[in-house]
Amino acid sequence: MRGREQLAAFDPGGLEVLEADLAAFEAALQRENHTLKRSLTDPHLFSGIGNAYSDEILHRSGLSPVKLTQKLTAEEVERLYQATRATLVEWVERLRREAKEGFPEKVTAFREDMAVHGRYQLPCPDCGTPVQRIRYAENETNYCPKCQTQGKLLADRSLSRLLRQDWPRTLEELEQRMRRT
Ligand SMILES: [Zn+2]
């Protein structure tokens, strides 16, 4: 009993998406109005979705990492729910298979078979656009501007500071620059 209480004290209580229905997912997602990236990686809201999986989930659902959770339409919430389940199932199976073959690997690190996570400037597997990033403290978020943000580049604070006005704001601007260089 004591052990269970102690365990409960350490469990942040996030939702297990593979055991949850759409309504429970929606309730957890919209409990607070944060960016999708922040809500998906908050262990108090969702269990077991780290930085890597959240990038993959958002890419699969075609949603911007900085979209606010309470601004999602019902259709977008459902798309995100399905993408979250599909991504988790896919990676659980892949890691299980690799463990059996004797190649266990952590998913927190760069994986070549991910779509966008850890793939800054590499082509998006769906459209070929270079993957972009937003960097902060210890992490970075990777996304495809064509599949997820209607071609808009999200401000990267460290880069913005460095480049000042030179930071391209749209995908078109970036592509023009790439053509020029
Ligand atoms: Zn793409």
Q: Which amino acid is at 71?
A: K
- What pLDDT is recorded for position 38? 86
Q: Ligand 1 centroid vs 95 CA: distance in angstroms?
A: 25
Q: Ligand 1 centroid vs 127 CA: distance in angstroms?
A: 4
Tell me the pTM: 0.79
Q: Ligand 1 centroid vs 129 CA: distance in angstroms?
A: 6
Instruction: From first to last of the 181 residues of the chain, give the pLDDT tens digit.
Output: 455 555 555 677 899 999 999 999 999 999 988 889 889 988 899 998 988 999 999 999 999 988 889 999 999 999 999 999 999 999 989 888 888 887 655 555 567 789 999 999 999 999 999 999 987 666 788 999 999 999 888 876 655 454 444 445 555 665 566 566 5
Pick one of 3.30.559.10, 2.60.40.420, 2.60.120.10, 1.10.8.50 as the CATH number of 2-180: 1.10.8.50
Alpha-carbon gap, residue 33 to 55, rounded angstroms:
19
Backbone angles phi, psi at 92, to 5 degrees: -60, -45
Helices 74-100/22-29 angle, 10° precision? 100
Alpha-carbon gap, residue 74 to 68, rounded angstroms:
13
